[in-house]
Amino acid sequence: MKVAVKIARILLGLIFFVFGLNGFLHFIPMQPMAGGAGAFLGALAATGYMFPILFAAQVVSGVLLLAGVCVPLALTILAPVIVNIVFFHLALAPQGLPLAIIVVILELWLAWSYREKFLPLFSS
């Protein structure tokens, strides 16, 4: 079981580290999105601050996951990012949904694996 958790942690860390870094360095070519998806991403880019914060959160969380340091913190930082990724692909760009579902599965598996760290959040 520990091996599966480690594999999930490293895989999720790699996904967010690479895609977060790509937001700054643009080494993976991305096709421009049309319609609502393009308009939404254009609006986020126009703010001037949203994408840098988003990509920085992904890089930092990815590094934490890859290093195995503060994993519950990394999962907490990534949770709202993942929720938005899933709803973006459900509503605007369904072609990216398979990777989004994989990310959700990895996040939930790791959150369950580290559930003892999250239990104090649910106590009164």
For residue 26, the enclosing domain spans 2-122
> Residue 23 half-sphere exposure, CB side, CA atoms within 13 Å?
20
| Residues contacting 47, CB < 8 A, separation 6+ | none
Structure letter (DSSP) for residue 124:
-
Mean local confidence (pLDDT), 2-9: 96
CA distance 37 to 88: 8
Which three-class secondary structure state does DSSP give residue 72? helix
Q: What is the pLDDT of residues 72-109, one digit of tens each?
A: 999 999 999 999 999 999 999 999 999 999 999 999 99
Q: What is the pTM of this model?
A: 0.93
User: Domain total for the chain?
Assistant: 1
Percentage of the chain exceeding pLDDT 90: 93
Average pLDDT (14-32) is 95
Res 24: pLDDT: 97
- Residue among 17, 39, 37, 42 nearest 27 (CA): 17
